[in-house]
Amino acid sequence: MIQITFPDLSVKAFEEGVTPLQIASGISSGLAKKCVIARFNDQLVDVSKPLYEDGKIELITDVSNGYEDLFNHSCAHLLAEAIKALYPQARFGVGPAIEEGFYYDMDLGDIQLTEEDLPKIEKKMQALVAAGETITRYEVSKAQALSLFQEDIYKTEIIQELENDAVITIYEQGNFRDLCRGPHVSSTKWLKHFKLLSISGAYWRGDASKAQLQRIYGTCFASEEALKQHLHNLEERKKRDHRKLGKELDLFMISEYGPGLPFWLPNGYILRRTLEDFWIQLHREKGYSVINTPIMLNRELWETSGHWDHYKEDMFTIDVEDGTYAIKPMNCPGAILVYNNGLHSYKELPLRYAELGNVHRYEASGALNGLFRVRGFTQDDAHTFLREDQIGEEVAKIISLYDEVYSVFGLNYAIELSTRPEDNFIGTVEVWDEAEKALKEACLATGHAFKINPGDGAFYGPKLDFKLRDSMNRIWQCGTVQLDMQLPGRFNCKYIAEDGSKQTPVMIHRACFGSLERFIGIITEHFAGAFPLWLAPRQMVIIPVNVEAHGAYAKEIETLLQQAGIRVSIDARDEKMNYKIREAQMKKIPYTLVLGNQEQENRTITYRHHGSNESFTMGLNDFIEMIITEIKTLGKE
């Protein structure tokens, strides 16, 4: 017998091997029908999974929030079942849940699907939902699994790589079975709110030398409202594509002579420099010294840092008279050389260096994407040298800094802790364990929850990744905090401890934006190109009702505003006033000022905000004071 504890802390004994569904049925048939998934000892489990140990259970009927991966993974199986019914010759690769959806890779032989086939597949999926097929989990041996999937070369390849004594889980619904770890929803009836989105090609296991499969993408939600909102967001994202807005707003361009190397146009350069100035000022206020290090350094440096062994395939190199040089893919070795330029006492630590460093990495041409994936970009790096006993306090300060920065842009975030890779890492396991523990404690001390991302740490240390959520509900990995107990030792970094001995400092690598280019792409789409006043390349435009009659007053106001540091221009073209106003709205200029007889006589201005048809009139001095305050406070007051 096993002891099962319920959420109300009541305890009941059951036979070993009882399933959550059987437990639910014992309470009421209604509960069993509504039970979608279960949580046993804080882990999601299928309702058909036998339980063999004591534990606490939660029978889950409300899946409206937090179960997106569960629904998407289960819907991937629903898609595969529909494909198998429509195309019996189909063989399947993998079908995981991904951010905001799922996909399944499949081999249909000579049949090539197109977007026009998706409605037919959806119709079959809807029929399977209506059938309400029970999704059942069971376990088999490796030999049994090979027998079950003997006609599918892709599943067979996966199974053959498992240990001979492996216990393999199979999921079955109707006439379809799949190889999967799970868990899944209890029935296909829960998967009614889905949409297939697109088809693409995908090499088996991402290897271009292997078979090319067809990949169908889709998404699934627990409610119709959530699905509709997501589909609305997808349409909105198309409108907000930063490549489209970048062209319309004259922000940046990319030439065929430099793939992945953005050119900043006048408006974009103003935007970029404003963002840089904001970053530099904030970091100086927080005790950072701003530095700049060379873009190209000798191969020996990269060998010492470990980048040559771990990263050389992604580095641009050049052979010159005195050896091989590499264009830097990272800023950290340069910061270390700055640290080693002088002697340091324990009293100086933490010593913080901040750098807007231009780096280059080789990216395949097919992966390049506007500002999101480039070959040359600017990392907003900082490298802090400190004692081990200062780690917790310093990481807490960094998190506080990130809170401040992201709030300016209206971006919320979640934290992921990436731990030691399984291989290809430097240093001892013991040092890694200590570093991971320090990051965990720093998060908890600042009241921030975190998710473990096992094995995804940098080769020199664990890291915290900051996942930002934008206005269209997308997740972006931008900020990072990487704890490094390896590189300072490799470069013989030292400080004089209180007892006079020489000690090796710990190093923290951190970036808030991650990449300046990518962050600009993100906020361009986040704001739909309508940047807040302090950041907007063109902050306001003055439109005289009659250029001859009101031109002098417009010029006077332009001069006063420019003297106050405001980016303003006069639209004196021979066009109708309403046309100019509409164009200012299309160019997403925050303030449009209209000046006529009344404004000139009363020394006032009439203005409207971008996106609004409502106009306001106020005194010139009051307006200038209001604008200056909005810019200085970054719109927070």
Choosing from 214, 379, 539, 600, the catalytic residue is 379
How far is Cα 32 from Cα 53, in angstroms, rounded to an integer? 21
The distance from CA 222 to its chain's CA centroid, rounded to whole angstroms, is 23
How far is the C-alpha of 57 from the C-alpha of 39, rounded, in Å?
A: 6
Of 107, 152, 381, 465, which residue is the catalytic one? 381
Q: DSSP code of 191?
A: G
Cis ω before 262 (30° cut-off from 0): no
Cα distances (Å, whole numbers) of residue 597 to 466, 550, 572, 579, 584: 53, 7, 16, 20, 21
Instruction: Tell me the angle at which helices 391-408 and 429-445 cross, rounded to the nearest 10 degrees.
Output: 50
| 3-class secondary-structure state, position 272 | helix
How many whole angstroms separate alpha carbon 599 and alpha carbon 619? 9
d(CA 373, CA 367): 7
Residue 164 has phi, psi (to 5 degrees) of -60, -30
Residue with tokens 């889950």: 60
CA angle 132, 137, 143 (to 5 degrees): 135
- Are 454 and 473 spatial neighbours (Cβ–Cβ below 8 Å)? no
Residue 587: CB atoms within 10 A of its CB come to 19
443 is catalytic: no
**Which residue among 75, 332, 478, 493 is the active-site one?**
332
For 362, the token pair is 């080789």
- Would you call 379 a catalytic residue per the annotation? yes
Q: Give me the residue label for tokens 């019996």.
A: 88
- CB-based burial label for 197 (10 Å; 0-12, 13-18, 19+): middle
Active-site residue identified among 84, 155, 463, 538: 463
**Phi and psi angles of residue 497, each rounded to the nearest 5 degrees, phi first:** -75, 170
For this structure, is 381 an active site residue?
Answer: yes
Residue whose token pair is 């009541």: 10
Residues with active-site annotation:
332, 361, 379, 381, 383, 463, 509
